[in-house]
Amino acid sequence: MSVHRMVCEGENSAEVLFVCTDDQCGRRVVLGKSSPKIVVIDDGEFGASHFGSMGGVFIDDVDAA
Ligand SMILES: [Zn+2]
């Protein structure tokens, strides 16, 4: 099982955009800052495990079952 790192590529006051660093994957998710919501924009490589962090925001892929 592959492990991909995600990096912050943009943010506003309410949300943070995380993008996978794997060129073949392209997973993109948006995380809410104040609420623990996660919105998947692009699934990318669905079987891979994704993680990343930025400031106080931490992503640990809970939906990659
Ligand atoms: Zn990925």
Determine the pLDDT at residue 63.
54
User: How far is residue 46's CA from residue 65's CA, in Å, rounded to a whole number?
Assistant: 9
Name the DSSP letter for residue 3.
Answer: E
Query: How do residues 6-65 score in pLDDT, each as one tens digit?
Result: 999 999 999 999 999 999 999 999 988 888 788 999 999 988 999 887 767 677 765 544
Determine the pLDDT at residue 61.
67
Q: What pTM, to 2 d.p., does this model score?
A: 0.79
Residue 43 CA to ligand 1 center (angstroms) comes to: 8
Residue 13 CA to ligand 1 center (angstroms) comes to: 25
User: How far is residue 50's CA from residue 65's CA, in Å, rounded to a whole number?
Assistant: 11
Residue 51 CA to ligand 1 center (angstroms) comes to: 9
Residue 2 CA to ligand 1 center (angstroms) comes to: 8
Neighbours of 44 (CB within 10 A): 21
User: How far is residue 38's CA from residue 47's CA, in Å, rounded to a whole number?
Assistant: 17
